[in-house]
Amino acid sequence: MRIVIDILIVLSILFALAGVVGIIRMPDAYTRMQSSTNVSTFGVLGVLIAGILYSIIYLGDVSMAIKLAVLIVFYLITSPIAGHAIARAAYRSKTPKTPQTIVDKYGEDLEDE
Amino acid sequence: MKKTTAAAFFGTLIVCYIFWLLITGQIVSIFTGDASWQILVAGGIVSIIVSLFAARFFIHKKAFHLYNPIRFFLLLFYCIIIFGWELIKANVSMAIRAFGSTKNLKPGFVKIPTKLKSDYALAMLSNSITLTPGTITMDVVEQDGENYLYVHCIDAEKEDMEKAGKDIKGAMEPWIRRIWE
């Protein structure tokens, strides 16, 4: 069972690394945000799930596991809201897009208003 | 400002009290028989005060919608199986993209239609889309009685609105409709 917990932690570290590398390499603000969701989903969820398994199996502390599960619920509810807000604010304050962008329906519709 | 209805108050009260039991660890103590009555009573008082203030923001209509056990298990099933599978697929493809070449990315802002109507369903769909790596919901608008989402998508190859929508929403939309409508 220990090996499952270790694999989960290593996997989530790998995904967090991929997210950080993506943040450095992507061309503009929006694609960087896309890459950062890699960190904020698997990077966090893997560690938390490993924590749940560890506290049930090795610590025998079910209330700790329940607290971690509640943490997952709140994390999944609140973290995307910051994502919407940052992306929308970036667009409205005219952050430059990469020239590779192929369609921009949002900009077209904003100009019509 | 909306008024607090009794149904909304009790709906919020139950959610608050369940979360109190979960984070104080009393839910385990109840089963082992050493729950402390002081913590239970204090939680009740705090829940009543909180739900008096928060009920009108939390529940607008159909207060006991999710207390139907079938809907609740559908919600759990969606969160763990359907959404989990979408997360795994998107995470792997995004991780590969981060290490690969960034020259041939085709990001774009697409507009996708959705058939969902209620506030909670729309919020859940846009949160699910944002949590999936590769797509971020930027805005929700209502035009001629239809709801549309603006999504920034890192691989916007498809110009067609319906097709792009099907690609981004995947299996998530029908499940959310089953849960909330």
Q: What is the dihedral of CA A8, A13, A17, A22, to 10 degrees?
A: 40
In terms of CA atoms, which chain B residue is nearest residue A108? B109
Residues B129, B81: one domain? yes
Domain positions in chain A: 2-112
Same domain as B105, residue B24: no
Q: Are residues B110 and B146 in the same domain?
A: yes
Confidence band of A54 (pLDDT split at 50, 70, 90)? very high
Asked whether the beta carbons of B89 and B172 are under 8 A apart, the reply is no
CA A62 → CA A38, B20, B27, B28, B72, distances in Å? Answer: 29, 16, 10, 7, 22
Report the share of chain B in percent with pLDDT over 90. 6
**pLDDT value at position B44?**
92
- Tell me: do B38 and B75 sit in the same domain: no
Is residue B123 domain-shared with residue B161, that is, in the same domain?
Answer: yes
Give B-chain residues touching A31 at CB under 8 angstroms.
102, 105, 107, 154
Same domain, B117 and B48: no
pLDDT at B107 (0 to 100): 84
Q: Is the dihedral of CA A54, A55, A56, A60 positive or negative?
A: positive
- Counted residue by residue, chain B has a size of 181
Per-residue pLDDT tens over the stretch B108-119:
888 888 888 888
How confident is the model over B144-149, as a mean pLDDT? 82
CB B116 within 8 A of CB B161: no
Determine, for residues A103 and B95 on separate chains, whether the beta-carbon distance falls below 8 Å.
no
- Measured between beta carbons, the chain A residues lying within 8 angstroms of B168 are none
* Domain contains B119: yes
Instruction: Note the ipTM here.
Output: 0.83
| Per-residue pLDDT reduced to its tens digit, B57-75 | 887 777 677 778 888 888 8
- B58 and B97 part of one domain: no
Residue in chain A closest to B29 (alpha carbons) equals A63
The Cα–Cα gap between B161 and B174 comes to 18
Q: Please report the residues numbered 61 through 90 in chain A whose beta carbons come closer than 8 angstroms to any beta carbon of chain B.
A: 62-64, 66-67, 69-70, 76-77, 79-81, 83-84, 87-88
- For residues B147 and B63, the answer to whether their CB atoms sit within 8 Å is no
* pLDDT value at B1 more than 60: no
User: CB–CB of B127 and A81 under 8 A?
Assistant: yes
Question: Which chain B residues are within 8 Å of A25, Cβ to Cβ?
Answer: 98, 102
Mean pLDDT for B38-49 is 92
Q: Are residues B134 and B153 in the same domain?
A: yes
Of the two residues A11 and A98, the one the predictor is more confident about is A11
Contact between A15 and B91 under an 8 Å Cβ cutoff? The reply is yes
User: Cα–Cα distance between B106 and B155 in angstroms, integer?
Assistant: 5
For B91-138, how does the pLDDT look when each residue is reduced to its tens digit (9 = 90+)?
888 888 888 877 778 888 888 888 888 888 888 888 888 888 888 888
- B169 shares a domain with B87: yes
Residue type, B181: E
Burial class of residue A47 (count of CB atoms within 10 Å of its CB; 0-12, 13-18, 19+)? middle
Domain assignment of residue B33, given as a range: 6-63
Residues B34 and B82 in one domain: no
**Residue B47 falls inside a structural domain:** yes
pLDDT at residue A86 is higher than 70? yes
Domain count within chain B: 2
Per-residue model confidence (pLDDT) at position B159? 64
**Does B44 share its domain with B76?**
no
Report yes or no on B102 lying in a domain.
yes
Residues B137 and B163 reside in one and the same domain: yes
A vs B: CB pairs below 8 A:
146
% of chain A surpassing 70 pLDDT: 98
Residue B1 lies in a domain: no
**Whole-angstrom Cα distance, residue A68 to residue A51?**
7
